[in-house]
A and B are shown apart, each in its own frame.
Chain A
Amino acid sequence: MPHSDFEHLQVLGAGIGLRKQHFRDLLKTDLPVGWLEIVPENFMNFGGYPQRILELVCKRWPVVSHGVNLSIGSCDPLNEEYVDRLKTLLNTTKALWYSDHLCFTSVGGEYFHDLLPLPFSNEAADHVVKRVKQLKKRIQLPFLLENPSYYVKLPGAEMSESEFFNKVLEEADCGMLLDVNNVYVNSKNHHFDAKEFIRQLPLHRVGQIHMAGHFDRGDVVIDTHEGPIIDPVWELYEFTLHQIGRSVSTLIEWDTNVPPLGSVVKEALHAQTIIERTCSGGLKNLPRQGSDVSLGMYELPIDSPRSPLAERREAVAVH
Chain B
Amino acid sequence: MVSLRDVERDLKNLLFFKDQLPKRSRLWGDQIPERLSVYRNNTRTNWTDALDHDFPLTRKQFGESEWENLRRRYFVKHAPQHWELNTSLAPFPRFLEHEKVKAWVKELADYEWNDLRVFIDRAVVKRHSGISNLTAAVRVYHHQIFDWVSAGAPAQKPPAEKPEVLVFYRDSKNTCHIEEADPLMLLILEHFRKPGAQLADLEPVRQKLLPANRVPLQAVFETLQKSELLLV
Instruction: Please state if A113 and B47 are interface contacts (CB–CB under 8 Å).
Output: yes
Q: Which of B83, B115, B177 is within 8 Å of A41, CB to CB?
A: B83
B152 to A, closest residue via Cβ: A308
List, in ascending order, chain A residues with CB within 8 A of B11's CB: 107, 116
Instruction: Please state if A312 and B12 are interface contacts (CB–CB under 8 Å).
Output: no
Q: Is A290 an interface residue (CB 8 A)?
A: no
Instruction: Please state if B81 and A316 are interface contacts (CB–CB under 8 Å).
Output: no
Docked complex Cα distance between A82 and B150 (Å): 37
List, in ascending order, chain A residues with CB within 8 A of B115's CB: 307-309, 313
- Write out, one digit per residue, whether chain B residues 37-59 have a CB within 8 A of any chain A CB (1) or not (0): 01100110011001001101100
List, in ascending order, chain A residues with CB within 8 A of B125's CB: 48
Interface centre among B8, B33, B47 (most CB of A within 10 A): B8
Docked complex Cα distance between A37 and B6 (Å): 34
List, in ascending order, chain B residues with CB within 8 A of A46's CB: 120, 122
Instruction: Please state if B177 and A307 are interface contacts (CB–CB under 8 Å).
Output: yes
Nearest chain A CB to B147 CB, angstrom units: 10
Nearest chain A CB to B52 CB, angstrom units: 10
Q: Is B15 an interface residue (CB 8 A)?
A: yes
List, in ascending order, chain B residues with CB within 8 A of A222's CB: 38
Those of A13-54 within 8 Å (CB) of chain B: 41, 44-50, 52
**Given contacts A45-B122, A152-B33, A111 and B81 within 8 Å (CB-CB):** yes
Docked complex Cα distance between A107 and B13 (Å): 10
Instruction: Please state if B173 and A127 are interface contacts (CB–CB under 8 Å).
Output: no
Interface centre among A52, A109, A220, A306 (most CB of B within 10 A): A306
Binding site for B on A (CB under 8 A): 41, 44-50, 52, 69, 71, 73-75, 79, 82, 104-114, 116, 118-119, 121, 123-124, 127, 151-152, 154-156, 189, 220, 222, 299, 301, 304-310, 312-313, 315-317, 319
Binding site for A on B (CB under 8 A): 1-5, 7-9, 11-12, 15-16, 27-28, 33, 35-36, 38-39, 42-43, 46-47, 50, 53-54, 56-57, 79-88, 112, 115-116, 118-125, 135, 149-150, 168, 170, 173-178
